[in-house]
Amino acid sequence: MKAGRKWVILVVAVLGFGAVRLPFEKSLHRELLDVGLLTEPLDIGTRDRIGQTSSAVALGGLRTLVATFLNLRAFGYFTVQKWMDLEETFEMIVDLAPRTRYYWETGSWHLAYNAASYYINDSELPALRRREEWRRSILKGRAFLERGVKNNPDDWSIAANLGFLLSDTYKFQAFRDPDESFAAAAEAYQRAWNTGNALGYVERSAFYALSRVRGREAEALEMGRQLYAAREKNRTPTLLSMIFVLESHVDPPKDPVARAVELFGSEEKAYQVLSGHWFRTRERFPVYGVAGVVKSLESKLGIAEKDSVLNRPLPTPRSLDEMFRDD
Amino acid sequence: MMDHSDTMSVKDSHVRRVLVIATHAFTQLVRMKVFYFLAIFAVIAIGSNFFNLPQHEGPESAGTEVLRSIKSWSLGAMTLFSVVISIVATALLLPKDVEDRTLYTILAKPVPRIDYLAGKLLGVMMLVFVSLLLMDVLMTAVLHIRTSMVLDQRVAYATELGWPQEAIDSMAAEVNAMGSTWSLQGAVLAVFLRASIMASLALLVSTFSTSTLFTATVSFLIYFIGHFQADARDAYLHVGEVGQGLVAKLVTLLVTLVLPDFQLFNVIDAVIEGQVIPLVTMGKLVLVALYYALFFTIASWFVFSDKEF
């Protein structure tokens, strides 16, 4: 056969073969994308940022390996506290391996906890700048986790981590509106619980967060009662205290002391737990009805007024001005 | 006219010839000491155990990152080794047979050229298969040991905290999913399938190439561009929407029709991240790989059938 003719036949065969497989490959590719076995192609920004070599390796089917290398690089940035570089590296890492829980959680941990703590103590910046950098780092950590949740709707741990960050005693002030952040925390915990894989504390945490949202006390009380009824293990001191507090706000009992004894089992136990709860103002837990019942219990238990817990100073919520001072 | 037994015996003789050539090619490649790379792989598989960076998790979830790291490093090394071996070994075989004059001896006998090519390709695939099998055994062993260690540690912690049995079971299932699973074996099979396609493609290139270097270079280029094929296909199918011209349409069409879609085999990444590959999906990938391997082998024979030496 003449060489030219042979080449023509070969080219036609290659094209014909390609045309035959095209619909099958296209539908298989779509199917794999839909079930999450393939990820969307890297965008040009990520390809540029990871560099030509890594980009070639990643495109050669080794995305997770490049992500592993970048994770080592990110750790290097963490040790020398180069937060901008660390953030950029984690952006690349999660583009390469969006289904790996560890990267979403570690990236947000570095931003919302490590970088934020660094700025609290950074002596080279004035107080106002430190405060803003602290707030910005926490917001970045939140945004990072929210993207993680969006990319991994079935992962309980990322959602639970988001709930934890949003209701963290030392972080919620960064979100400006605590009601919004506690409501978002409750939603995140609930989402984690709904996956069916989370531990029991996650559902209770959703309740603890919701009970701190002003205006949603009735909803929180309903949830607390359901948790109480569902399992013995749910009846933690915090849950019992919150049921008492929320009832005192939504539907105050006629005899608060009797209700406290009913919930906690004895006057001593009720006094011990509720007087402890009285001091949780920094965590922004409401304390409706607590002072009254503690006072009544103190008189019943023969505790002198000078020894009353109500006379001890309450830990005031730590203000941002207190945290960020120029001295 | 041939009766049924004659047809069977012709088929048998084809199979025997292909197997003899394959075994010879395999032995020839083994003598090139390719298995030395296994020592490097062992270092990688064991070394990946020690990338234990300080982490944010508490003891209740510690350790799974190391399991992911072992899988990531090991499957990455497997991909790299298998692709390099399949391309370089295939690129070497024909020129080496010409140089040693073995090819003349074989073709002087009544050996159909398709048998010769299929035998050579099978030899390379055997080499890739055995290499991957050895690496897989090593990876699975390391992963199994490490998974047991992580599991013991976490179960002990959970028991100490008084977790209910259902919570411990759920945690154990999560840890085991990050260990050695059937999906992980599926990922190793996907590595083998991709390497097999590359070997058959390199065989096609080597039938008209003039040097080993040319075959290897072109094959590696095709390997990398093959990972863009799906992007080119999308661009071609949506070409009108983004207002590209005729040239762009033609280029994307050519890339789509000529090159294999290697992105399909990137399911490996999902397995490293702990996902499960359904058996049906695995079957579809095998079909795709078979389709490519058969087509490229037949095309190689078509080019090679009346080549003068």
Chain B residues whose CB is inside 8 A of the A9 CB are 302
B204: which 2 tokens? 């096609």
Specify if A267 maps to a domain: yes
A202: which 2 tokens? 């996650």
Give the separation between CA A150 and CA A155, rounded to whole angstroms: 10
The domain tally of chain B equals: 1
Specify if A109 maps to a domain: no
ipTM: 0.84
B90: which 2 tokens? 């295939």
Specify if A249 maps to a domain: yes
Q: What average pLDDT score do residues A303-307 get?
A: 86
Amino acid at B238: H
Please identify which residue in the block is written with the tokens 């700048």: A129
Give the separation between CA A60 and CA B263, rounded to whole angstroms: 9
**Does residue A174 register a pLDDT over 70?**
yes
A285: left (phi over 0), alpha (psi -120 to 50) or beta: beta
Q: Using only the alpha carbons of chain B, give its radius of gyration.
A: 24
Average pLDDT along chain B: 86
Q: Are A55 and A47 in contact (CB under 8 A)?
A: yes
Specify if B3 maps to a domain: no
Least confident range from A40-44, A113-117, A258-262, A280-284: namely A40-44
Q: Do A71 and B53 touch (CB under 8 A)?
A: yes
Buried-state track A215-229, b at ≥16 Cβ within 10 A, e below 16 = ebbeebbebbeebbe
Specify if A237 maps to a domain: yes
pLDDT at B225: 87
Distance from CA of A136 to the nearest CA of B (A): 20
Amino acid at B173: A
User: In sequence order, which residues have a C-beta less than 8 Å from that of residue A41 and are 6 or more positions away?
Assistant: B230, B231, B263
Q: Are B189 and B282 in contact (CB under 8 A)?
A: yes
Q: Are A146 and A191 in contact (CB under 8 A)?
A: no
Q: Are A221 and A176 in contact (CB under 8 A)?
A: no
Chain A residues whose CB is inside 8 A of the B272 CB are 64, 97
Residue A254: helix, strand or coil by DSSP? coil
Give the separation between CA A251 and CA A245, rounded to whole angstroms: 10
Chain B residues whose CB is inside 8 A of the A65 CB are 72-73, 75-76
| Closest C-alpha among B127, B102, B107 to residue B30 | B127
Q: Do A64 and B269 touch (CB under 8 A)?
A: yes
Chain A residues whose CB is inside 8 A of the B257 CB are 14-15, 17-19, 22
Of B53, B258, B261, the CB nearest to A29: B261
pLDDT at B230: 84
A320 against A296, higher pLDDT: A296
B57: which 2 tokens? 């998790």
For chain B, the farthest-separated pair of C-alpha atoms sits apart, in whole angstroms, at 81
Output the CA angle A20-B267-B233, nearest 5 degrees: 35
Of B56, B79, B274, the CB nearest to A61: B79
Chain B residues whose CB is inside 8 A of the A97 CB are 269, 272-273
Partner A, chain B 50-79, Cβ-Cβ below 8 Å? 51, 53-57, 61, 64-65, 68-69, 72-73, 75-76, 79
pLDDT at B12: 72
Is residue B277 less than 8 Å (CB to CB) from chain A?
yes
Per-residue confidence band for A218, with pLDDT thresholds at 50, 70 and 90: very high
pLDDT at B5: 63
Low-confidence ranges of chain B (pLDDT < 50): none
Q: Are B144 and B180 in contact (CB under 8 A)?
A: yes
Give the separation between CA B205 and CA B203, rounded to whole angstroms: 5
Give the separation between CA B167 and CA A200, rounded to whole angstroms: 8
pLDDT at A148: 95
Is residue A71 less than 8 Å (CB to CB) from chain B?
yes
B1 against A273, higher pLDDT: A273
Amino acid at A224: G
B105: which 2 tokens? 């001896």
| Closest C-alpha among B72, B191, B261, B71 to residue A31 | B261
Of B68, B228, B263, the CB nearest to A29: B263
**Does residue A105 register a pLDDT over 80?**
yes
Phi, psi of A326 (to 5 degrees): -85, -10
Give the separation between CA A89 and CA A69, rounded to whole angstroms: 10
Amino acid at A206: A
Specify if B2 maps to a domain: no
Amino acid at B205: V
pLDDT at A126: 81
The burial of B213, by beta-carbon neighbours within 10 Å (0-12 exposed, 13-18 middle, 19 or more buried), is given as exposed
| Closest C-alpha among A204, A169, A160 to residue A315 | A169
Is residue B268 less than 8 Å (CB to CB) from chain A?
yes
Give the separation between CA A324 and CA B163, rounded to whole angstroms: 41
pLDDT at B7: 65
Specify if B121 maps to a domain: yes
Amino acid at A305: E
Q: Other CB atoms closer than 10 Å to residue B163's CB: what's the count?
A: 19
pLDDT at A66: 86
Output the CA angle A86-A89-A91, nearest 5 degrees: 110
Specify if A64 maps to a domain: no
Give the separation between CA B292 and CA A131, rounded to whole angstroms: 60
The domain tally of chain A equals: 2
Is residue B26 less than 8 Å (CB to CB) from chain A?
no
Q: Are B201 and B69 in contact (CB under 8 A)?
A: no
Give the separation between CA B296 and CA B300, rounded to whole angstroms: 6
Give the separation between CA A88 and CA A96, rounded to whole angstroms: 13
Q: Using only the alpha carbons of chain A, give its radius of gyration.
A: 28
pLDDT at A175: 87
| Closest C-alpha among A243, A240, A228 to residue A272 | A240
Give the separation between CA B126 and CA A133, rounded to whole angstroms: 58
Specify if A265 maps to a domain: yes
Please identify which residue in the block is written with the tokens 């003899």: B20
Of A26, A97, A199, the CB nearest to B273: A97
Amino acid at B177: A
A138: which 2 tokens? 């926490």
Of B233, B237, B277, the CB nearest to A37: B277
A230: which 2 tokens? 């569902």
Q: Give residue B246's domain range.
A: 9-304
Q: Do A75 and B288 touch (CB under 8 A)?
A: no
Q: Are B224 and A56 in contact (CB under 8 A)?
A: yes
Give the separation between CA A50 and CA B67, rounded to whole angstroms: 24
Q: Do A64 and B272 touch (CB under 8 A)?
A: yes
Mutate to test the interface with A, among B55, B83, B257 (most CBs of A within 10 A): B257
Q: Give residue A31's domain range.
A: 11-39
Nearest CA in chain B to A16: B257
Percent of chain A with pLDDT over 90: 57
Nearest CA in chain B to A79: B54
